[in-house]
């Protein structure tokens, strides 16, 4: 016998290799059938068909910008209230355009034309007032043309309406129509902004008392168009008519001879009926009956949720949260936070302590 092993014929080696490859493929097929990720699992006969994974893209929500900006071309005199309807002095201030060529132009926001002479504009910001009336006649107006700006917007990742979708061109004059403002609620479509009539004259209602306002507020129509300014301390005739769950109360402003809505938070919680408003209905108390003690102030929450804070500022987390319909109170103390422009009301907590809630979230119970 030879010392060397028998070497197979080349043809025999090739046949052996083919057999090995076929066996490997067979084993691979069995492994995939047993649950390899690359093999689809068998579906039982009675199992429902799989739902399609693809979903149609949700339609992007957009909204029209209602207040468009226009350049001012010269110093702009802005009046607190309609010059044709104000009794007595009508305060004003002057907005002066930038003289330097650098930076953004000085602009105002146009809202609507009150009549052929006066337009209602906003200077923006948080001061008071930032709404007013300015002359729109051709020879006297300070209002120039529009700047390029977003006309329709969508929400950003934080849910704020800041992402431009379409733009309003530069160089257009303010609209000429009178007594109408841009609207999303009336006549608006995907392609065109709507226009809504401004109710500059509202019907009256039964007056229950005359009070002085606690804060600076704007006078609005029933669609929230500004129709005047009511500074702190002005006398107004209050009614029981409200809207938006009591957030707005209907009043008559004698200095303007005009009806409208102001924020309820600007009205005092308790006040004495003005003699001119209810003299005919006054009933004197019997002399022998002592006057009852003044009742504690109670409030009803009108916001869906309102925080009770340890101080008269929202710099810390609320102690607790009250909800619409809850009654709080037993205190008449109020403090105005000038930084927030909010009035806070002191309320009593269940444990005997006290906290503070924003007056705008409450209504006298």
Torsion angles phi and psi, residue 203, rounded to 5: -65, 155
**Edge-to-edge strand ranges of the sheet holding 334-337:** 334-337, 342-348, 354-358
Tell whether 178 and 228 lie within a shared domain. Answer: no
Tell me the DSSP string of 194-249. EEEE--SS-----EEEEEE-SS-EEEE-TT--EEEEE-TT-EEEEEEEEETTTTEE
Write out pLDDT tens, residues 277-334.
444 444 444 444 454 444 457 888 888 788 888 888 887 778 888 888 888 877 677 8
Distances (CA, A) of 164 to 148, 152, 153, 175: 12, 6, 4, 22
Which among 174, 197, 220 is the end of a domain? 197
Residue 147, in any domain of the structure: yes
Provide the residue range defining the domain that includes 349. 298-364
pLDDT at 161: 93
Pull the structure tokens for residue 234. 């002005």
* Sheet with 118-122, edge to edge strand ranges: 92-95, 76-79, 131-135, 118-122, 107-113, 68-72, 143-146
Co-location of 143 and 244 in the same domain: no
Residue 242 lies in a domain: yes
- DSSP letter for 364, please: E
Distance in angstroms (rounded) separating the CA atoms of residues 346 and 269: 13
Residue 42 has what pLDDT? Answer: 53
Q: For position 306, which CATH number holds?
A: 2.30.30.40
Q: Do residues 242 and 325 both lie within one domain? A: no
SS3 266: helix
The CA distance from 184 to 63, in Å, is 7
Between CA 365 and CA 356 the distance in angstroms is 17
Rounded CA separation 311/296 (Å)? 21
> Tokens standing for 277?
């408003």
The pLDDT of residue 324: 82
Tell me, yes or no, whether 144 and 88 share the same domain.
yes
Domain count, the chain: 3
237, part of any domain: yes
Query: In this predicted structure, what is the pLDDT of residue 318?
Result: 81
Which parts of the chain sit beneath pLDDT 70? 1-58, 100-101, 270-296, 331, 350-352
Residues 71 and 122 occupy one common structural domain: yes
Q: Specify whether 154 is located in the same domain as 189.
A: yes
Same domain, yes or no: 310 and 189: no
User: pTM of the full predicted structure?
Assistant: 0.61
């Amino acid at each position: 016998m030879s010392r060397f092993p028998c070497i197979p014929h080349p043809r025999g080696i090739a046949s052996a290799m083919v057999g090995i490859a076929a066996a490997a493929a067979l084993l691979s097929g069995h492994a995939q059938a047993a649950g390899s990720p690359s093999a689809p699992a068998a579906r039982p006969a009675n199992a429902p068909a799989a739902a399609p994974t693809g979903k149609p893209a949700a339609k992007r929500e957009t909204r029209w910008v209602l207040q468009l900006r226009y350049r001012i071309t010269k110093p702009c005199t802005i009046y607190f209230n309609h010059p044709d309807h104000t009794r007595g002095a009508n305060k004003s201030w002057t907005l002066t355009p930038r003289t330097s060529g650098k930076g953004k132009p000085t602009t105002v926001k146009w809202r609507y034309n009150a009549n052929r002479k006066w337009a209602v504009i906003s200077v923006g910001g948080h001061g008071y007032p930032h709404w007013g009336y300015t002359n729109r006649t051709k020879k006297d107006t300070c209002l120039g043309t529009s700047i390029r700006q977003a006309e329709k917007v969508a929400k950003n990742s934080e849910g704020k309406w800041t992402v431009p979708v379409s733009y309003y061109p530069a160089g257009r004059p303010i609209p000429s129509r009178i007594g109408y403002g841009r609207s999303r609620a009336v006549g608006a479509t995907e392609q065109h902004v709507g226009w809504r009539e401004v109710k500059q004259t509202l019907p009256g209602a039964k007056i229950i008392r005359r009070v002085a306002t606690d804060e600076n507020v704007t006078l609005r129509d029933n669609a929230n168009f500004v129709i005047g300014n009511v500074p702190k301390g002005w006398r107004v005739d209050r009614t029981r008519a409200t809207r938006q769950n009591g957030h707005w109360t209907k009043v008559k402003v004698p200095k303007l001879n005009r009806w409208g809505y102001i924020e309820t938070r600007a009205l005092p919680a308790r006040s004495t009926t003005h003699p001119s408003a209810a003299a005919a209905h006054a009933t004197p108390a019997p002399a022998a009956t002592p006057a009852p003690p003044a009742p504690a102030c109670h409030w009803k929450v009108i916001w869906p949720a309102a925080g009770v804070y340890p101080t008269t500022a929202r710099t810390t987390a609320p102690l607790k949260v009250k909800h619409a319909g809850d009654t709080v109170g037993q205190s008449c103390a109020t403090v105005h936070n000038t930084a927030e422009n909010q009035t806070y009301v002191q309320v009593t907590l269940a444990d005997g302590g006290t906290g503070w809630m924003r007056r705008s979230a409450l209504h006298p119970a």
